[in-house]
Structure formats: structure tokens, C-alpha cells
Structure 1
Amino acid sequence: MTSTIANKARPMPPGIYVPVVSLYKATKRQEVDYDASYKLFSHLIRGGLDGLVLAGTNAEAVLLSSEERKELVKIARKAAVDIGRPNFPIVAGISGQSTNESIRLAEDALSAGADFGLLLPPNYWAKAVTKDALLGFYRDVADETTLPIVIYSFPAMCNGVDMNSDILSELAKHPNIVGVKLTCGNAGKVTRLTQEYKHEQFAVYAGSSDWLLPCLIGGGGGCVTGIANVFPKSVSRLYALWNESKIKESQELQGLVAQAEKACKEGIAPTKYAVGYFAGSAAGIVDPKTFWPRKPYLPVDGVKAAWVEKVMQSLVQIEQSLPDAV
């Protein structure tokens, strides 16, 4: 490590985080189903994951109201407390198109009980998002809230707005910017940033679990992965195998996880179908419509559903063989 900056006051713990899907009632307005959400949060915590991420991409954040976002954080905290994990890490999406909106969302998340805020870059007018605009945006939000900020790098969802490792390194020096989620899939950013910063100074996470091992080998702290909604125990086991230095076993499981995660790469609807099909009953949620996307977006058709079931079969027995962590 080359940086001499101080450790962050509240570093983000390493491990496997799940961007939890949002669940809705089977009504015309598709109100958020908070009872089902509580059950899913509880199921995921028991599955051995290291943190929940709410109001992220998998949660259809742009389709959620500010009140729904706050209530989901409160429900997640209640689930953690009820299970006996009151300090379980909860990360809340706080992405807004303006600095002011993002600060407001950060304040809401903090008041509802979140531990960290996950923040995309502004991207509506992509050509106006210069390096100086990016640096100013993140620094201004981080200055105005005590909620520790995690940068969210996802160019495919942000009109191509990308942040190279030099920009991320500049932002890492801010005392309230604690890490980055790299859904850009750029392993080079991992190795450059971890060469400069140790985890407590600036944490680096893969944005999916199909390259969890490459991220860990490069010095990263874990991943934030949608497939953990479906197979939380399997992804947690992969991380544990690496930490136990069981390299061959971890490589074998990494391959199976990567094959299954192909389905999540196809979008929110296939991911939510997989959660309902493979994990719904275990979580105590029986109505498949609870896992439909929010309108105007549509659930998967029969052909896509069959493909999802086939692609993810490789992890079913593994998931069923593993015990609850709590």
C-alpha cells in the first residue's frame, strides 16, 4: 500500500453483500409488500451474507418513492434486530441526478437506520459530467452527510459515464467516502486501487460474483451480487472457501456460481423470477406475482423462465446442503 491517508472512521466491512430485490403486492398499483420484504430480508441474513443493499439497481430503485425507500430500510433493520444481528450492515441506495437530491436521499437513509449510502454518478446529461463535475458531486454529498458513501460505478446504467481509477483514487482521499462497487467489471481498477489503499482506507468490491475470486486475488474486499438473492449460502460459501485458503474448492465453486449468474445478467425480471422460483418457498413467500417487476416492466415469459431454471440448476443441491448461518 502506498497511501498514507487515515483509515476511515466507519470502514465498510468486507464480505458478500446482496442488492435485495423489491417485492410488490399483486394489485393494480403494486404497492410494496413490506411483510414479504421482511421475510426475504430475514432469509438472506440467515443465509450467511455480510450485508444488505437496498434501493439499488436490482431493487428497481428508480421505481420506488422516497417513502418506500425509507420504510424498506426500517424493515431491514427490524429483521436484523429480530434475528439477533442489530449491527448487521445495511447499505441504502442514495442515487439522485442532482447533488441536492442525493443529499436528501442520504439524510433519509441515515434517519431510517442505514449504515452506508451507495451513490451512482449523475448521468442524465452525460456530456456535462466532466471530471470536475464528478469530483465535485461526490465530495459535496460526502461533505453534507455523516452517512459513509460508497461509490457505485455502473457505466452501462449511467449513459456510459465511467470513472477511471485515477478519479476513484482522488475520491478515496475524502474521509467520508469509504469504498467503491465496480459493476463496470474492470479488474484493473481493483488492482490499481488496492495497490494504493488498504481496505480500511478505501474498500473495493466486485459488482457481481462471477468475478469474485479475481477481485479477491487482486486485493478486493468481496462483492455485491444479485445472485445472492437466489443462492445466499452458496455465494457466502465461496467467500469462506477463499478465506480458508481452500483454493481448488473455491475455484470449482466459482465456476458454478459464474454459470448460474448468467441468468442475472439478463436483467431484473429473470433475476426476480429466479428468486421466487428457487428461494421463495424457503423465505416463506408463495405468490409468484410478488416477484414480478413493477409496471410498466413485465415478468419473464415461459421460454425465458425455463432457461433461467436450467442455467441455475448447478447451485440447487449446494444451496440445499448448506446450513443457515444464524
Structure 2
Amino acid sequence: MNHVSGIYAALLTPFHEDQSIHKEALQQLVARMIDNGVHGLFALGTNGEFHTLTPQEKCEVATIVLKEAKGKVPVMLGVGGNYTGEVIQLAKQFEQLGATMFSVITPFFMPPNQSELANYFEDIANATKVPIFLYNIPSKTGVSIDPLTVARLAKHPNIYGIKDSSGDLQLIQSYIRHTQEEDFVVFAGTDSLILKTLQEGGGGAVAATANALPKLVSSIFTHFKNGQLEEAEKAQAQLQPLRDTFSLSTIPASLKKVVELSGIPVGPPRRPVQPVDSKALRQIETMMRTYRAEGVLDE
């Protein structure tokens, strides 16, 4: 499945002020991503606030994204959770909606050992015909998938890749090295490592920054594939001011404010996470003025 490659936008989940899902804003967001050249969409991930959504709401988001993207770009849907049966049940619901690719995060709160992790992913892969990607984000889950565990899982015919959000390039290199004999794709899940992952032999990235800068983020992949390394490096560097704003608030409040100011009413994060404060807002507005002056802000 090496045709799974490029930049997948890690979609935000828009909300109204009353915290209900803003369907129209989600439709607008998907359309903007596709119009500005992303190669795929990833819904119901960390920046999509999956952990705050009910199963019914997840199905609502999945339905909208699949409908808007059908025939244009592939869609990866997050189905992970803490209980294997719960994940399988959601995966089967998504199958009925027409899902073609799943992302499965490691369980969290009570971190499993490597043997338990392998069994978890294999049980899910055995229960669905839809290809799955592993999702490693140890800073949020308290557990990291070991390269040897990934090597074992890469041999499963229904496990096609991994999205790594550890921020550790050496770990990404190890994943690539341990799976190079398999038809297995390694994606960066940390936006600062998109180009480096491609240079190491990775297939692309799932990028949160694409919500605000889809054309710029996608160009990193395109420039790299065209052998335009200098242009790819420049595009990669231009992401940093946006990434710097993420530390001003709890994820994904800053990114939501950037996207909202660029014209799509993605609304507030889900409580208890709060919108950005006035100080953070001023810094975000300064960053956006700079991006507009450089002509890279997609609106």
C-alpha cells in the first residue's frame, strides 16, 4: 500500500458556542483542504478532539468528511480507544459508512505493555477488512510502540503503516529500518519532522498545520518528490511560526483561533479547554500578519 503517501491534514472538529458540532464549518474546512492540495484527510485525531466526542458524534464527523471527500482524496478515520471491543464496534460502524482507512491510537490512561499492544492492534486488524495505521503519541498516552513491536505488526496483512507523533526522529528512523522489507508506510505526526521523515524514506505526514496552511504544507512533499530540496526546506521552515503559537494554549485552541481568523468558523475547543486569552491572541494576530505579507496564508 505504498500509494498511501503525501500530506494528510489532521482535521480540526468545528464546534458551535454551545459545543455542538458545526457541520457547515467542517464541510468548509474539508473543501479548503482539498482545494489547496492536501493528499488526504485524517479525521478524529488528537487535534480533532476525538477524546471528547461520543460514538454518535464520531459517526457524525465521519459521515460529513467521507461525503465531502469522496472521489477526491483518501480519508483516514481515528477509531482508537481504551477497550478493544469498543474500538472494533466503532470500526464496524465506520465500515458501514464507507470508511477505507483507519488510524488506531494506543490505549491510554493505563499504558499496556508491548505484548498487550501487539495483541490489541492484531485483534482490531483481524476484526475489520479496512486497512489500519498504528498511531504512536507517547506524550499523550504514556506508552510508545517499540520498533520491534512495529516490525511484528508490519507483517500483518491488514496493518499498513504507522503515524508517529513522538517527535523523535531516531524512533522514526528505527521504524523505517525495522519495516523496510514490508509494504509498510511510516508517516510523521510531528509537523517539524515532515521533510526529515521523507528524507529517511517515510511516506509523508499527518499534519495539524495543514488546517491553516494546506498549500504550504503540501508543497513540502511536492518539492521533495520533484527533487527541489531548497524549496522543500524553505516551506518546512515557514511552518515554525505557526507551530510556535501552539504552546500559547492547550491543544487545539491556538490552531482553532488561527483557522477561525482565516475565515472558517471552527469555534472554540471543547471544555474544559478554553479559547486563547488576549495575550495569545495578539501573538497569533502578529503571526498571521506576517504570513499574509509573505503570501502563504490560505484563506
TM-score over 0.5 (shorter chain): yes
Q: 2:32 aligns with which of 16, 35, 43?
A: 43
Moved over 6 A (4+): none
Q: After superposition, give the CA deviation of every residue in 1:228-262 in whole Å (9 maximum; x if it has no partner).
A: 00010111112111111111121122111133222
Match of 1:96 in 2: 81
Q: 2:68 aligns with which of 58, 74, 79?
A: 79
CA distance in 1, matches of 2:113, 2:178: 24
- Is 2:34 aligned against 1:34? no
Shift of 1:199: 9.4
Structure-2 change in CA distance of 1:303 and 1:181 (3 Å): same
Match of 1:190 in 2: 172
CA contact (8 A) 2:81 2:108 kept: no
CA contact (8 A) 1:135 1:171 kept: yes
- Is 2:42 aligned against 1:53? yes
Q: After superposition, give the CA deviation of every residue in 1:28-70 in whole Å (9 maximum; x if it has no partner).
A: xx21111221111111111100111111110110111212211
CA distance in 1, matches of 2:217, 2:168: 20
Shift of 1:26: 2.5
- Is 2:165 aligned against 1:180? no
Match of 1:207 in 2: 189
Q: Kindly report which structure 2 residues correspond to 1:1-326, keeping only aligned pairs within 5 A, or say none.
A: 8=1, 13-27=4-18, 30-81=19-70, 86=71, 88-126=73-111, 129-158=112-141, 160-198=142-180, 201-265=183-247, 266=249, 267-278=251-262, 280=263, 285=264, 287=265, 290-316=266-292, 317-319=294-296
CA contact (8 A) 2:166 2:190 kept: no
CA distance in 2, matches of 1:46, 1:196: 36
CA contact (8 A) 1:55 1:93 kept: yes
Shift of 1:188: 1.9
Structure-2 change in CA distance of 1:258 and 1:17 (3 Å): same
Shift of 1:275: 1.1
Structure-2 change in CA distance of 1:130 and 1:304 (3 Å): same
Shift of 1:314: 4.6
CA distance in 2, matches of 1:300, 1:243: 37
SS at match of 1:58: coil
SS at match of 1:263: helix
Q: After superposition, give the CA deviation of every residue in 1:251-278 in whole Å (9 maximum; x if it has no partner).
A: 1221111332222355211111111113
Structure-2 change in CA distance of 1:201 and 1:315 (3 Å): farther
Equivalent residues, number: 296
CA contact (8 A) 1:230 1:275 kept: yes
In structure 2, runs of 5+ residues without a counterpart are none
Superposed CA RMSD in Å reads 2.0
Shift of 1:319: 2.5
Structure-2 change in CA distance of 1:313 and 1:178 (3 Å): farther
CA distance in 1, matches of 2:176, 2:241: 27
In structure 1, runs of 5+ residues without a counterpart are 1-7
CA distance in 2, matches of 1:191, 1:125: 27
CA distance in 2, matches of 1:313, 1:13: 35
CA contact (8 A) 1:211 1:258 kept: no
AA paired with 2:232? S
SS at match of 1:291: coil
CA distance in 1, matches of 2:288, 2:272: 27
Structure-2 change in CA distance of 1:213 and 1:313 (3 Å): farther
